[in-house]
Amino acid sequence: MDPMQAIKDTFFQECEEQLGELETGLLAMENGSGDEETVNAVFRAVHSIKGGAGAFKLDKLVKFAHVFETTLDKIRTGQLAPATPVMKSMLRAADVLADLVTFSREGGTFDDARSNELIVELNAHCEQKTGEANAEEAPAEEADNNPFAALGWEPVALALEPDVNEYVIIFKPKPELYAKGNETTRLMRELSRLGALTVHCETADIPLLADLEPEQSYLSWRATLRSDQDLATVQSVFEFVDGDCHLDIEVIDFTRETPPEPEPEPAAAPVVEVVAVVEEAKPALEEVTAALEAVKATAPPPREAAKADANGANNATQNTIRVDLDRVDRLINLVGELVINQAMLTQRVLEAGAVKNASIATGLDDLEHLTREIQESVMAIRAQPVRPLFQRMSRIVREIADATGKNVRLKTEGEGAEVDRTVIERLADPLTHMIRNAVDHGLERPDQRIAAGKAAQGEVRLSAAHKSGRVVIEVADDGRGIDRQKVKAIAIKKGLIAADALLTDAEIDNLLFMPGFSTAETVSNISGRGVGMDVVKRSIQALGGRISITTKPGHGSTFSLSLPLTLAVLDGMVVKVADQTLVVPLNSILETMKPKGGEVYGLGPDSQVIGIRGGFTPLIDVGYALGFRSERADPMAGVTLLIETEGGVRSALMVDAIQDQRQVVIKSLEANYGHVEGIAAATILGDGRIALILDADAIVNASTGRNTPSEMLLAG
Amino acid sequence: MAEIETKANTGAREYITFRIGSQFYCVDIMSVREIRGWTPATQLPRAPGFVRGVINLRGVVLPIIDLADRLGFAPTEPTARHVIIVAQTGRQVVGLLVDAVSDIINMPADKVQPTPDVGSEAARAFVLGVMAIDDRMISLIALESVMPAMVGEAA
């Protein structure tokens, strides 16, 4: 790859992180939990983006980031109070900034009107609170607006601005400054843009050639600047080299009639000198860079401790590494194959009858443990907190709230919950859709809310929590809830159910997931994009997840997603059903039992229940339910697995025999075939054959009358 | 027959021919990934009869279509001598269970004739066109129609 492109990619990756920080910080500021450090963090995020964007000449991004930064600076310095309207603009500015970053990375079109509108808005905030905002009005152009900058003189400004200051700047770079690729030339050039500048290079410290250390810094500069800018602006020139140089800026009040420095020494001369010195130092610098790379790559040995100390700040932040995702995926695939291979090996050894040899058995056990540990560690690499996903949602909420005129607050909980990266990626679309639905369909308009005796501001709660080996994500709104009468009427009108169908509340709620169902009477451009909850349901199912609704009319609805932590492995029980080998996910099994005579009762013509410790639980013959056999098998001949579904419903699944309990690698059935009702996925067993992984919930729902809508449709 | 028309522009193509019962069929060689012997498949619940199940193709779950059954013949009773043609259709990979693979033929696009208007619905649906070679008629299989239409495909 083009090295420039690689650097650019890194920049954009960092932008993503900065944007995340920015969003978090702004939200904290908005709800009042932010402190000074939060504001600083937000400022730094925008500043870093601006800095990087400048390096790549991404002008639009720089311009916008600059205005944004200026406004933030006002807040940071206490000149502008972070009141609600200001924070609203800030959040929208963060959205535009994110869009600009995307635009800069991927090209395409960007609506300048949006950024310009916000620039005006942000400037208005600045002006409103500060009388002298004029100076900052078009800061992005300030450098360009000064045609005298190139000359190094600023003749007219003196007359107009009475409070011109003179700064004496003593600048002595440390070697680190050069090591980081900064140059005095640039800094001085930057200073010269602020006003009339004269520079002296102090060469007294340069030792004799024999004593000269090539990596040391011997030069220092004394610059005199006459400028109408304030001290902070002058200091900001040195912002990026902060800590890498000795900097001393002395302000001399210019009102005491000191005539302008008469010495007409052109700024160019020392610049040339500096360039020459820097050129000389180049090979050395390259060596330093190489050495630094080496330090990064390996832990610094003790004798290099001093060097490491000098770069202490760097090393402290080097606890994470960026790894190409493809490499991680390759590793995960390989580990997956390893798991299968280990299972095959174990099986072969068993078949060969070698288990009598204790050492082989121990060896196999150890191998299994190791494989499992490797797998878990590798999976942990991919696990990521859901925070960035949730952050994206807060933006969605803002946009829809604006578009629908609703007042909405997004409350997030459990952002730290970690889930496999693929799950997070593939969750973004369905979650976006659910959030949109919650705001657009779930919440009422402020006037309706007040009429209903609720606060004008609606709340959407987005939460994540780990629950028995899965992650449960909930989208809850405190809106009007699902109008079941209306839902049913629409379903009848659209011919999705028979007009005289008797449905339980839960069944009516589930109608929302039917293809072709949309309750919005007018198709809005927010939710009604022709994508319904059926698509959400299917994408969640494709992830091995489940979605359920609970709703309380007048009090809101909760959509609950239950997802596997990883898409790669699960612990399962290998069972035999009608000569087929199936895997039942272990996390759904409560206990296993062998039914005794007299415990199984018929209930109606087509159902059976099993008595367990005084209670009765529906008994489902898995082979019959899946259509592997046309007659129910004798319950006494099989084994019963007592399971609990996501909805908390208990059922007993009957299988012919339990064979094994093992970790299996999940293989997609959808990739080359499609979704099979009652089957979650496939896996490869030790004998190399494919076994299907049972979707216990779907089996239970299908068999106990909690029909999925599509089956009701078929039945009706 | 848009596909045949586009092929006309690209000249001759190679086809793998195979036998089902006494009839000969072929698929475009470019869509064939490999040819392998029959291994028992894992049955899929509630799948159409022509879907024999799925097998493990080096870690990939491969659905097996009994082409004879799909075309309306009696279902194949596979033995070790039967053959699976692993073919790519769109983004999916399927295995076609056939009696035997016979030959690779090279056929100019203009020698592919439209399917004669026969009574068999399956033939009309799954045969893109026919070609004549050495007194034999070979029917070109429309791979993308062979897979059952699934809801899951869209997801």
CB pairs under 8 A between A and B: 89
Q: Which of A148, A139, A126 is nearest to A227 (CA)?
A: A148
pLDDT of A38: 83
| CATH number, domain with residue A412 | 3.30.565.10
pLDDT, one tens digit per residue, over B83-115 is: 999 999 888 899 999 999 988 999 888 888 888
Q: Taking the mean position of all CA atoms in its chain, how far away is CA A267?
A: 48
Residues A552 and A473 in one domain: yes
Q: How many CA atoms lie within 13 A of A380 on its CB side?
A: 6
Indicate whether A302 belongs to any domain: no
Q: How far is A21 from chain B (nearest CA, A)?
A: 33
The DSSP result for B16-64, as a single string, is: EEEEETTEEEEEEGGGEEEEEE--PPBPPTT--TTEEEEEEETTEEEEE
B47 CB neighbours in chain A (<8 A) are 676
A672–B152 CB contact, under 8 Å: no
Residue A638, judged by CB atoms within 10 A of its CB (0-12, 13-18, 19+), counts as buried
pLDDT at B155 over 80: no
CB atoms within 10 A of CB A163: 9
- In a domain, residue A310? The reply is no
Last residue of a domain, which of A286, A307, A335?
Answer: A286
Three-state SS at A580: strand
Whether residue A260 has pLDDT greater than 60: no
pLDDT of residue A648: 63
* Structural contact between residues A440 and A531, judged by C-beta atoms closer than 8 angstroms: no
pLDDT band for position B117 (cuts 50, 70, 90): confident
CB-CB under 8 Å, A628 with B43: yes
Same domain, A27 and A44: yes
Contact B128, B116 (CB under 8 A): no
Question: How far is it, in rounded angstroms, from Cα A141 to Cα A25?
Answer: 28
Instruction: Pick the range with the lowest mean pLDDT from A257-266, B8-17, B76-85.
Output: A257-266
CB distance B59–A670 less than 8 Å? no
Is the same domain home to A367 and A484?
no
CA-CA distance, A715 to A704, in Å (whole number)?
Answer: 14
Cβ pair A672:B151 closer than 8 A: no
Contact: A672, B153; criterion CB under 8 Å: no
Q: Quick one: closest CA in A to B43, which residue?
A: A580
A104 and A162 assigned to the same domain: no
- Residue A581's closest chain B neighbor by CA? B42
Q: Is the pLDDT of residue A254 over 60?
A: no
Q: Which of A548, A564, A580 is the last residue of a domain?
A: A564
pLDDT of residue A636: 81
> Per residue in A489-529, pLDDT tens?
888 887 777 887 777 888 788 888 877 676 554 444 444 44
What contacts 24+ positions apart, CB below 8 Å, involve A217-220?
A: A217/A172, A217/A173, A217/A174, A217/A175, A217/A177, A217/A178, A219/A172, A219/A173, A219/A184, A219/A274, A219/A277, A220/A170, A220/A171, A220/A172, A220/A173, A220/A246
Structural domain contains residue B149: no
Of B42, B93, B155, the CB nearest to A675: B155
Residue A111 CA to residue A124 CA, distance in Å, equals: 21
pLDDT in tens, A59-77: 888 888 888 888 888 888 7
Return the pLDDT at B34. Answer: 93
Contact A678 B154 (CB under 8 A): no
Domain range enclosing A12: 3-144
CA–CA dist A694, A576 (Å, integer): 12
Q: A542 near A675, Cβ under 8 Å? A: yes
**Tokens 């007592």, residue located:** A642
**Residue of A329, A340, A543, A673 to mutate for B, most B C-beta atoms under 10 A:** A673
A34 lies in some domain: yes
Determine the Cα–Cα distance for residues A671 and B150; give it in Å rounded to an integer.
12
Which residue has tokens 């209930």? Answer: A603
Look at residue A308 and tell me if it is in a domain: no
Give the CATH number for residue A654.
Answer: 2.30.30.40
Answer whether residue A371 is part of any domain: yes
A25 and A133 inside one domain: yes
The distance of A688 to chain B (nearest Cα, Å) reads: 7
Contact B104, B17 (CB under 8 A): yes
- Higher-confidence residue of A389 and A181: namely A389
Report the C-alpha gap between A440 and A437 in whole angstroms.
5
Q: Where are the alpha helices (DSSP H) in A591-695?
A: 622-625
Whole-number Å distance between alpha carbons of A649 and A546: 14
Angle at the Cα of A238 (from A232 to A243), degrees rounded to 5?
110
Among the listed residues A32, A94, A640, the one whose alpha carbon sits nearest the alpha carbon of residue A395 = A94
Q: How many domains does chain A have?
A: 5
The Cα A115–Cα A315 span in angstroms is 37
Q: Inter-chain contact B42–A691, Cβ cutoff 8 Å? A: yes
Please measure the distance between the N-terminal and C-terminal CA atoms of chain B and give it in whole angstroms: 28
Give yes or no: residues A27 and A121 share one domain. Answer: yes
Residues facing A664 on adjacent strands: A570
Boundary residue ending a domain (A261, A286, A311): A286
SS3 A595: coil
Model pLDDT, residue A283: 58
Query: Is B151 domain-assigned?
Result: no
Q: Closest approach of chain A CAs to the CA of B89, in angstroms?
A: 9
CA A216 to CA A617: how far, in whole Å?
81
Kindly give, in sequence order, each residue whose CB lies less than 8 Å from that of residue B82, ignoring residues fewer than 6 positions away.
Answer: B37, B38, B76, B97, B98, B99, B100
For residue A182, tell me if it sits in a domain: yes
Do A524 and A593 reside in the same domain of the chain?
A: no
Residues of B in contact with A333 (CB under 8 A): 59
Q: What is the pLDDT of residue A355?
A: 66
Torsion angle of the four alpha carbons A308, A314, A318, A321, in this order, in degrees rounded to the nearest 10: -120
Tell me what pLDDT residue A233 has: 81
Task: Tell me how far the alpha carbon of residue A452 is from its chain's centroid.
Answer: 36
ipTM of the complex: 0.82
In a mutagenesis test of the B interface, which of A690, A693, A710, A714 is the best target, namely the one with the most B β-carbons within 10 Å? A690
Residue of A534, A525, A516, A524 whose CA lies nearest to A434: A534
Q: Is A547 a domain residue?
A: yes
Q: What is the pLDDT of residue A301?
A: 42
Q: Which of A253, A280, A278, A269 is nearest to A192 (CA)?
A: A269
Q: Are B18 and B26 in contact (CB under 8 A)?
A: yes
Q: Look at B46 and A627 and tell me if their CB atoms are within 8 Å.
A: yes
Q: If pLDDT is split at 50, 70 and 90, which confidence band does A281 have?
A: low
* One domain for residues A140 and A161: no
Q: Fill in the amino acid letter for A160.
A: L
Confidence of residue A633 (pLDDT cuts 50, 70, 90): confident
Residues of A whose CB is below 8 A from B43: 580, 628
In a domain, B16, yes or no: yes
For B110, which DSSP code? Answer: G
> Average pLDDT, stretch A139-146?
44
Same domain flag for A665 and A691? yes
pLDDT at B42 (0 to 100): 92
DSSP string of A118-129?
Answer: HHHHHHHHHHHH
Helix axes A3-30, A387-404, angle to 10 degrees: 60
The DSSP call for residue A299 is P
pLDDT at A279: 58
pLDDT 10s digits, A13-67:
888 888 888 888 888 887 777 777 888 888 888 888 888 888 778 888 888 888 8
Average pLDDT, chain B: 84
Ramachandran region, residue A5 (left: φ > 0; alpha: ψ -120 to 50; beta: rest): alpha
pLDDT surpasses 60 at A256: no
pLDDT for A220 beyond 90? no
Q: How far is B133 from chain A (nearest CA, A)?
A: 33
Q: What is the DSSP track for A499-537?
A: TT----HHHHHHGGGSTT----SS--TTT-SS--HHHHH
Residues A535/A537/A538/A539 CA torsion (nearest 10 deg): 90
- Give the model's pLDDT for residue A713: 37
Burial class (CB in 10 A: 0-12, 13-18, 19+), B2: exposed
**Residue B70, domain extent:** 2-143
Apex A138 CA angle, A137 and A141, nearest 5: 155
Contact yes or no for B141/B122 (Cβ under 8 A)? no
Name the strand (E) or helix (H) holding A277: helix A268-297
Tens digits of residue pLDDT in A129-140: 544 444 444 444
Interface contact A688-B94, CB threshold 8 A: no
CA distances from residue A609 to A613, A614, A696, A697, B25 in whole angstroms, order as listed: 13, 12, 17, 17, 52
Whole-number average pLDDT of chain A: 76
Distance from CA of B30 to the nearest CA of A (A): 18
Tell me, yes or no, whether A305 lies in a domain: no
CATH code for the domain of B82: 2.40.50.180
Residues 6 or more apart whose Cβ sits within 8 Å of residue A179? A215, A285, A288, A289, A292
Which among B56, B59, B94 has CB closest to A689?
B56
Q: Are A207 and A121 part of one and the same domain?
A: no
At residue A138, what are phi and psi to the nearest 5 degrees? -125, 65
Angle between helices A36-55 and A84-106 (to 10 degrees): 30
Distance between CA atoms of A379 and A258, rounded to whole angstroms? 70
CATH number at residue A178: 3.30.70.1110
The per-residue b/e assignment along A239-254, b for 16 or more CB within 10 angstroms, e otherwise, is: ebbeebbebebeeeeb
Say yes or no: A350 and A239 in one domain: no
One domain, residues A404 and A546:
yes
Biggest CA–CA distance in chain B, Å, is: 45
Give me the number of domains chain B comprises.
Answer: 1
pLDDT 10s digits, A408-465: 889 999 888 888 888 888 888 889 888 988 888 888 888 888 988 888 888 999 999 8
- Contact of A329 with chain B, judged by CB distance below 8 Å, is answered with no
Mean pLDDT, to the nearest integer, of A99-110? Answer: 80
